[in-house]
Amino acid sequence: MTENPTACLLIIGNEVLSGRTKDANLQFLAQRLGELGIPLREVRVIPDVRDTIIGTLNEVRRHFTHVFTTGGIGPTHDDITSECVAAAFGVPWVVHEPSRAKMAADYARRDPPVEFNAARLRMATLPEGAVPIECAMTSAPGFTMGNVHVMAGVPRIMQAMFDALAPGLGRGTPVTSATVHALGVFEGTIAEALEAVQGRFPALDIGSYPFYRAHGPGGFSGGGVALVAKGTDAQAVAQAAEAITAMLRDMGAEPVQGEPPAA
Amino acid sequence: MTENPTACLLIIGNEVLSGRTKDANLQFLAQRLGELGIPLREVRVIPDVRDTIIGTLNEVRRHFTHVFTTGGIGPTHDDITSECVAAAFGVPWVVHEPSRAKMAADYARRDPPVEFNAARLRMATLPEGAVPIECAMTSAPGFTMGNVHVMAGVPRIMQAMFDALAPGLGRGTPVTSATVHALGVFEGTIAEALEAVQGRFPALDIGSYPFYRAHGPGGFSGGGVALVAKGTDAQAVAQAAEAITAMLRDMGAEPVQGEPPAA
């Protein structure tokens, strides 16, 4: 089995760092990239500061197969992602003629027509050599430059851009996972036995996540643990889930594979 | 006005990178730190991988006044944050006797009593010289080591730990913000005028965030922009909000300071 490609996500925006906006893109991309076998290995949230964006881009694009960015490609003065990507790659930032023409046609069709002013033209200005990412949600493109994929921050537009991008990404082996829940079980009680299971499946990530529900489905309340086996070897994942289930039964618990019991 | 202290957040956990768990700590910490005048300048989400945690800790603790971490301080094998902090600081990882005694008393009081096994003792094992962060939610401590504050990943425990920590953090000038909403206004239309406002208030961050509501309060649907002025000079923030309001009125819009109109 060859090594999977890797992904890093840069969330660019003061509004996430200030807490004004709750990021809604991380989880979507994490799940989709896992399915494609391009696991997300790091996320950074950075401000709309030129030197920070350029420095971070140049650091992470050398360490990961793919870098995805969200945010900062609109028409206002705080939208500086695109010009920073050009600077990071050391190429000019130039009007991309097919994108300009597409946006001009879009704006002319609107009723009332939208003026294609200098601010909007910035959205058709791309690093030289970039390939636009087009989607049905907007005529203003995202783009791919080298291994950096630049997408909008607005979730529905980001998702449409990712859908357009995904078929062209080289895939790895999909990451699969299996979850075993057990109510009324403390992490500290099972830790040693769980570590032994991890030892039997060194290629998998086995994680333990306590949960507590004050008012769950069916009136359920109480706590327990969710034990998750994850990796690219689907057969080993299934075997690990069986081993975790057996371990919990041996300890007198009533494990449930999949979603936690409702009552 | 002296420079504000700065903060970096490390979210440590495979479960966030895989998309299994949606982070719920970033926004809370971003808002609280802004109020304390310790603005959050970067967030990284990293996996439960020893070398990655140690390397990242040693990088960011030199660049920011404070580093906050969430996750990885439970009793299971994938909880390795504490020992990685010890390694990053080059100090032994040792049982912290007051924390051990507190946890032992807590476990003995439970009905039925909880065994204080080796896995649970790991939660009382801290980098030598660390100061525990205690809270009412759990007897297992977080801790501060140098400028690194290590907290639980479970939001209600993290929040209690932060509440315990906050009074001892050196404060800066609180970051305040003012928001002006305008319905039916496109970012591209106001970009140039908004940049001129930013030019008049160089010490502030002025941001533009489009919004769209399919089904808002009072049956409102439609889009617009939220324009946000943010900074440590509260008077300048208020002046910038007035300037933005005047700018929007000049363009024929009906700006609203604060929350967007309901209908």
In this structure, the answer to whether residues B132 and B187 fall within a common structural domain is no
In this structure, the answer to whether residues B154 and B43 fall within a common structural domain is yes
Contacts of A11 in chain B (CB under 8 A): 43
Q: Do B188 and A119 touch (CB under 8 A)?
A: yes
Q: What are phi and psi of B230, to 5 degrees?
A: -145, 140
What is the number of domains present in chain B?
A: 2
pLDDT bracket for residue A263 (50, 70, 90):
very low
User: So what's the pLDDT on residue B263?
Assistant: 44
AA identity, residue B7: A
In this structure, the answer to whether residues A151 and A240 fall within a common structural domain is no
In this structure, the answer to whether residues A128 and A227 fall within a common structural domain is no
CATH of residue A185's domain is 3.30.70.2860
Q: Do A30 and B16 touch (CB under 8 A)?
A: yes
Question: Measuring CA to CA, how many Å separate A31 from each of A188, A247, B15, B20, B21?
Answer: 29, 28, 11, 8, 10
Q: Is residue B253 part of a domain?
A: yes
Tell me how far apart the terminal alpha carbons of chain B are, to the nearest angstrom: 42
CB of B66 closer than 8 Å to CB of B144: no
Q: Do B208 and A41 touch (CB under 8 A)?
A: no
- Range B132-158 average pLDDT: 96
Q: Is residue A222 part of a domain?
A: yes
B219 Ramachandran zone, left/alpha/beta (phi>0; psi -120 to 50) = left
In this structure, the answer to whether residues B62 and B153 fall within a common structural domain is yes
Best mutation site among B11, B17, B192, B259 for testing chain A: the one with the most A CBs within 10 Å? Answer: B17
Contacts of A223 in chain B (CB under 8 A): none
C-alpha distance from A91 to closest chain B C-alpha (Å)? 25
In this structure, the answer to whether residues A112 and A17 fall within a common structural domain is yes
In this structure, the answer to whether residues A58 and A112 fall within a common structural domain is yes
Q: What is the mean pLDDT of chain B?
A: 93
| pLDDT surpasses 70 at A42 | yes
Q: Is residue A263 part of a domain?
A: no
Tally Cβ neighbours within 10 Å of residue A235: 8
In this structure, the answer to whether residues A47 and A145 fall within a common structural domain is yes
In this structure, the answer to whether residues B31 and B151 fall within a common structural domain is yes
Enter the tokens of residue B214: 């399919």
Tens digit of each residue's pLDDT (9 = 90 or more) over B48-85: 999 999 999 999 999 999 999 999 999 999 999 999 99
The domain in which residue B132 lies consists of: 7-168
pTM for the whole structure:
0.94
pLDDT bracket for residue A46 (50, 70, 90):
very high
For residue A238, the surrounding DSSP H or E stretch is helix A234-250
Q: Do A48 and B207 touch (CB under 8 A)?
A: yes
> Domain end: B142, B168, B194, which one?
B168
Q: Do A188 and B114 touch (CB under 8 A)?
A: yes
Q: Is residue A2 part of a domain?
A: no
CATH of residue A121's domain is 3.40.980.10
In this structure, the answer to whether residues B107 and B188 fall within a common structural domain is no
Q: How far apart (Å, rounded) are the C-alpha atoms in residues A245 and A151? A: 41
Determine if the peptide bond prior to B155 is cis (ω within 30°): no
Return the residue of A nearest to B46 by Cα: A42
Which residue do the tokens 């939220």 mark? B226
User: So what's the pLDDT on residue B95?
Assistant: 98
| pLDDT surpasses 70 at B24 | yes
Q: Is residue A223 part of a domain?
A: yes
Enter the tokens of residue B161: 């730990």
> Domain end: A111, A136, A168, which one?
A168
Tally Cβ neighbours within 10 Å of residue A258: 10
Reported ipTM exceeds the 0.90 cut:
yes
In this structure, the answer to whether residues A162 and A184 fall within a common structural domain is no
CB of A212 closer than 8 Å to CB of A256: no
Q: Is residue B262 part of a domain?
A: no
Q: In angstroms, how far is CA A210 from the centroid of its own chain?
A: 23
| pLDDT surpasses 70 at A218 | no
In this structure, the answer to whether residues B189 and B96 fall within a common structural domain is no
CB of B103 closer than 8 Å to CB of B139: yes
Q: Is residue A242 part of a domain?
A: yes
C-alpha distance from B59 to closest chain A C-alpha (Å)? 13
Tens digit of each residue's pLDDT (9 = 90 or more) over A21-31: 999 999 999 99
Q: Is residue A127 part of a domain?
A: yes
> Domain end: B117, B135, B168, which one?
B168
Q: Could you tell me where the DSSP H helices lie in B36-92?
A: 50-63, 81-89
Q: How far apart (Å, rounded) are the C-alpha atoms in residues A18 and B259? A: 17
Q: In angstroms, how far is CA B219 from the centroid of its own chain?
A: 33
- Range A230-241 average pLDDT: 96
